[in-house]
Structure 1
């Protein structure tokens, strides 16, 4: 039902209610007025009868009283019947009187006993009868009733009862009510016609406004408002057209423009303004995130920021975050919210087993049974999101879910999560490049080993960590025997080859926790972390033997072999600082060279002849 019809319906109901109230009020008043009028007429008739009977009595004409009563009944058509009743005192004094003057019903008896007027109404479908019984009370005024009757003043001498037919009054009332009803109905029709005539243009304008607002919710501000009404209504329509035109220019393409910053699907809403608000909020959050990570020192800190966003912004609590080397296909766990891995361990050595990394597409467990063979959660729910940083690194996010509904929620958040990855991408690339440049400055270009500059930066970390955790370090100082002779005899190219091969031997002979450094020229240094004396000696012997076993071609079909000398010192058993330990290892190396070379010498206190270090 339209607004106009609702308005007309409400007005009709109100007018009908008013008409009904008016008719009911008129009916009640008319009935009351009719009864009151008949009652007054009955009282007046009773007074006439009383006076007439008194006159008959005074003139000794009481035997003619019936004629008098019949005349009153016959000359008044509305008087259906009229009779008088004697009280017991009068009957006792003068006799029973005429047969018609006896008690007819309980009403007559009640009036004689109470001395009060009693009236009743008998309504039928065809007629309405008013019965009125008026008492005749003895008085001492003219005429003095006590002169003729043996009664006390105020006693009831008799009663005059009349029945009035007031059917005509009721019929006249009904006709009046019908006229009033007809007038009211006519008035309602006229009011509704006028209301429809004058309200319809405003209702059309209102409907046009509704249609325009509905379109505006969908981002369409092209609606035009028209009205035939003059004055304020037309002015409002013109203002709305101007407003919508400006809004179309301002907001009409806002979704398209904002989508250049955030891909479509990140924020979904049927209301483009609400969607724009959400997109702007998303852009603001991403901008704050990017401004924050731009000042972070390394990619690990940026990864921590992403993990914080996953936990606190997206409310994801069960996930694993991996970094993948795209060249070696090795995967490194950066963070896991649980101790239990979602993927098999062998995936870390071959990232191609990860479906998300291999296909570079999102893996959603609800799309197919046992979708990713490498995932442990075959009976569970998960979403895996890959993201390429550059040609060298990718990241993979594994998110666990409890049910299909949660998978759908995560899938809906995936575009926003990728926005954070996209914002972090240039910063991570920059930190990777910075780390590479720094690593290059800290490594020897020929051997790939760390250089002395790195050692100088690393020592402070070693000392603070070793003192805090009671850790030990064993220092091996190595030197190629008679290396200058190689350069002088065979040239620097062969000398460089000897250096490179020794570096390769060192790399193969130490653990990941240990550190090999090209200390300078043909001199190398090794830091063995938490190694026993026996273990350190075994490493030194392994290096010594492996290098001695190498054969170098010097040209013209000739070959040569080289040996190394090694000095060993231990921290903190030999010295109270790493630098002093390095000095003592160098002292042991010097002892090895001075005592014949091609040997391994462990530092002894009596070897150091210098001043206090």
Structure 2
């Protein structure tokens, strides 16, 4: 019944609105018609008065014009009529009767503008229309105005006539017309509602049941069933709808139960399980596409870049830092950072200093005051640790701008873990591959890069540098160590020299074990090459190697060559450095020889 009344009320409202619109149009039109009618009548009266006054003037009976104006007032059914002279007429013919003067601002405005003035006084009880019409001097009238008014010129205002008409009868007629239209409209609406109610009653009840069931289904409640009613066709349609709702309830329940196993908590909450299932499926599809892409990536660094891009673009995370923790070395390496700032002091001794890594948990600044001692700045933060394997763990650090942003970041934790979990097996594979590649490129005794890596380096990496120096180094009389103390002692000397390399060379320098007791150092900062090698030579010479009851120290010889200055290619630079080393070995040992000095000596 409520639905039936609502539909009828809507129809009634539409019809009533339409009726009021018609009434409004009628009122405006009627008012405009009355104004135009009175205006036309006023112009006729003004023309008649003008002609009458002219006739009175020609007949020499201007003294009787007041009687004429009174008759014109009665004939026009006007409330008042008066004429008035302008200054030029007064100067020539005098002021006239006392009532023939400019009475108000409307008369003055007409004289000033030379235009008809039309003013409605919309009084509630006695509405009036005031019209003031000018008499314009012209030589084209009959008789000629300028022939009598000698002090006037073409277009001057000689005077005017003002008339006031009552609009009371017009308003009464307008109100009666409106009431008739309104009454007819009400009768039509009542008749329409009665007929429509009879026709719609059997169908409205059915629509109400359908509406209520579909409203609940739209909110995720598919348990409601439509009551069977109406004719056979309606009953059949209701059965189909009920069957559809049953299938939807069963399907959505199954989807929600099974698909939710694949994803973590979402940031959104859903009333409708079908909508929830839709978004979960979208998440799974995106996760699948992400995993397929990273499986084809070359290195873990590219995967890290993709993770950062997803966190920033899809999860809208700002001020993000991304770290890789080397569990065995107990160090943490920065992979990505939005804003460089001295925020977290956990890059070394990470297992102790990084609370998220140490506890393998999520750490948030609102957990407790100064919850993480490594975080030095007083601001909101969120840290997430995620182990990849026994060697590597990832730490995500988010620094939200305020507490609201921190709350939103916490909602993204499920997504972050989903993508880290998806990337985990691929990262494990990339890390294992890197370990295998690295072990194949590292000398097992010294921990330096081996000759195989040197070949790759010279064909690829060296092309990045515009200038560099290469030094070849060789331990003097190394064979005597092996012969006198054994190969274990020789290995200790080799390892000792390797440790000096690691402590002395710059971060961008690269050290290789070239073969036996011979080493190669690649130095991009060529101007510091000699000082670097001299420092290594001096440190090695001062190093004491304990050999049981005795001890020894060794010296080394080195040769240095510079790219472009000594040779145009990398392998030629190595060859030149080897020549310089040979010269050092055969000219007394324990010295450093520059290839350019050999060239100058030969020249």
TM-score (norm. length: structure 1)? 0.61
Query: Which secondary structure does the structure 2 equivalent of 1:453 belong to?
Result: helix
Give 2:477's aligned residue: 481
User: Over residues 11-43 of structure 1, what are the superposed CA-to-partner deviations in whole Å (9 max), with x where a residue is unaligned?
Assistant: 9x99xx9xxxxxxxxxxxxxxxxxxxxxxxxxx
CA distance in 2, matches of 1:318, 1:305: 16
1:177-326 equivalences under 5 Å are: 199=202, 203=205, 209-210=210-211, 212-217=213-218, 219-227=220-228, 229=230, 231-326=232-327
Task: Describe the shift of the 1:607–1:587 C-alpha distance in structure 2 as closer, same or farther (beyond 3 A).
Answer: farther
Q: Give the one of 572, 576, 586 matched to 2:578.
A: 586
CA distance in 1, matches of 2:545, 2:591: 16
Q: CA deviation at 1:455?
A: 1.2
CA distance in 2, matches of 1:486, 1:384: 53
CA distance in 1, matches of 2:372, 2:259: 35
Q: CA deviation at 1:439?
A: 0.9
- Provide the alpha-carbon RMSD of the alignment: 3.7
Give 2:497's aligned residue: 502
How many aligned positions are there?
A: 425
Say whether the 8 Å CA contact 2:326–2:391 is kept in structure 1: yes
CA distance in 2, matches of 1:607, 1:551: 41
Say whether the 8 Å CA contact 1:506–1:543 is kept in structure 2: no
Q: CA deviation at 1:417?
A: 2.4
Give 1:374's aligned residue: 374
Task: Describe the shift of the 1:481–1:267 C-alpha distance in structure 2 as closer, same or farther (beyond 3 A).
Answer: farther
Query: Which secondary structure does the structure 2 equivalent of 1:255 belong to?
Result: helix
CA distance in 1, matches of 2:576, 2:355: 53
Query: Which secondary structure does the structure 2 equivalent of 1:252 belong to?
Result: helix
Query: Which secondary structure does the structure 1 equivalent of 2:296 belong to?
Result: coil
Say whether the 8 Å CA contact 1:463–1:577 is kept in structure 2: no
CA distance in 2, matches of 1:227, 1:482: 103
Structure with the greater alpha carbon radius of gyration: 1
Say whether the 8 Å CA contact 2:209–2:227 is kept in structure 1: yes
Say whether the 8 Å CA contact 2:202–2:230 is kept in structure 1: no
User: Over residues 130-162 of structure 1, what are the superposed CA-to-partner deviations in whole Å (9 max), with x where a residue is unaligned?
Assistant: xxxxxxxxxxxxxxxxxxxxxxxxxxxxxxxxx
Give 1:354's aligned residue: 354
Q: Give the one of 570, 584, 593 matched to 2:562.
A: 570
Task: Describe the shift of the 1:474–1:546 C-alpha distance in structure 2 as closer, same or farther (beyond 3 A).
Answer: farther
Task: Describe the shift of the 1:501–1:552 C-alpha distance in structure 2 as closer, same or farther (beyond 3 A).
Answer: farther
Say whether the 8 Å CA contact 1:476–1:527 is kept in structure 2: no
1:515 and 2:514 equivalent? no
Say whether the 8 Å CA contact 1:571–1:577 is kept in structure 2: yes
Q: CA deviation at 1:442?
A: 1.0
Give 1:466's aligned residue: 465
1:427-466 equivalences under 5 Å are: 427-466=426-465
Task: Describe the shift of the 1:7–1:606 C-alpha distance in structure 2 as closer, same or farther (beyond 3 A).
Answer: closer
User: Over residues 199-232 of structure 1, what are the superposed CA-to-partner deviations in whole Å (9 max), with x where a residue is unaligned?
Assistant: 59x74x6565455445534545344444254512
CA distance in 1, matches of 2:531, 2:449: 23
Give 1:365's aligned residue: 365
Q: CA deviation at 1:519?
A: 0.6
User: Over residues 345-400 of structure 1, what are the superposed CA-to-partner deviations in whole Å (9 max), with x where a residue is unaligned?
Assistant: x322233323333333223334444443333441x333322222222222222222
CA distance in 1, matches of 2:515, 2:529: 26
CA distance in 2, matches of 1:509, 1:601: 19
Query: Which secondary structure does the structure 1 equivalent of 2:571 belong to?
Result: helix
Task: Describe the shift of the 1:264–1:219 C-alpha distance in structure 2 as closer, same or farther (beyond 3 A).
Answer: farther
Query: Which secondary structure does the structure 1 equivalent of 2:412 belong to?
Result: helix
Query: Which secondary structure does the structure 2 equivalent of 1:328 belong to?
Result: coil
Say whether the 8 Å CA contact 1:208–1:225 is kept in structure 2: yes
CA distance in 2, matches of 1:367, 1:488: 65
Query: Any unmatched runs of 5+ in structure 2?
Result: 17-189
TM-score (norm. length: structure 2)? 0.62
CA distance in 2, matches of 1:211, 1:264: 31
